[in-house]
Amino acid sequence: MIDRSKGSSNMSEAEPGRTRGVYGISVAADLVGTGVQNLRAYEARGLLSPVRTAGGTRRYSADDLDRLRRICDLLDAGLNLAGIAMVMQLQDENHQLREQTTPPHQ
DNA sequence: CTTCTGACA
DNA sequence: TGTCAGGA
């Protein structure tokens, strides 16, 4: 099926390479080389937070795709979904903290 | 496309 | 435990 409501030949739109690059779940699954069912399992474990459209379809941004890649790498490293979830949480906390406060460097 | 349940390595 | 497969 591949529901792509976006991407209607809209060149006039600004093109932020991150956070707004939307992909269908099938495209994201193909990109990471896994099935759509696995992507849902990752989201259920809190490894990802894809934007949900009004239709209920998931929209995977480039950032989410990068996160998926990290998941695959950590999974190959021998970690389970729970361990990856912790890594993701800590990484997200660190990212937010870095943007909020001034880096304690010098 | 979504959700859930079941089975296999 | 994680992945694959089927049906609603």
pLDDT tens digit sequence for A11-28: 555 555 667 888 999 999
CB A92 within 8 A of CB A98: no
pLDDT greater at residue A15 or residue A91: A91
A35 sits within 7 Å of strand C by its CB? yes
Which helix (H) or strand (E) is A28 found in, with range?
helix A25-32
Phi-psi region of A82 (alpha: psi -120 to 50; beta: other; left: phi over 0): alpha
A49 sits within 7 Å of strand C by its CB? no
pLDDT greater at residue A94 or residue A28: A28
Domain made up of A25-100: CATH architecture: Orthogonal Bundle (1.10)
Is it the case that residue A35 has pLDDT exceeding 80? yes
CA distance A18 to A4: 18
Is it the case that residue A8 has pLDDT exceeding 50? no
Nearest Cα to A38, choosing from A68, A77, A64, A60?
A68
Judged by C1' against the alpha carbon of A2, the nearest nucleotide is B1
Domain boundaries, chain A: 25-100
Is the model's pTM score more than 0.85? no
A37 sits within 7 Å of strand C by its CB? yes
